Amino acid sequence: MLFNLRVQVVRSDLVLGGPRHRETLYLVEFDGGPLAAERQREVQTAVLTTVERLILRNSAHRSGYLRPENSPLHAA
């Protein structure tokens, strides 16, 4: 996803704290230049949207909603 946005990670910091963790990514343009403010918002929105989708998908898998027997297409 970051490649498609034409940015690269130059540094990553990970902080662990119990069941939660925080990872900070330091990004630059693909050519190594800094991200302009508007571009930062664009990349941030794309990253957060992707993370949110992954969290929702993983949550659905854990709840069993996405199991084949729970699918609305599954024949009873």
The residue ranges of every structural domain in the chain are 7-66
Instruction: Tell the residue number behind the tokens 């343009």, with chain if given.
Output: 29
d(CA 46, CA 19): 25
Given a cut of 80, is residue 71 above it in pLDDT?
no
CB-based contacts of 69: which residues, under 8 Å, 6+ apart?
none
Would you say residue 67 has pLDDT above 80? no
What is the predicted pLDDT for the residue at 76?
A: 47
Which tens digits make up the pLDDT trace of 5-55?
A: 999 999 999 999 888 888 899 999 999 999 999 999 999 999 999 989 988
Contact 66, 59 (CB under 8 A): no
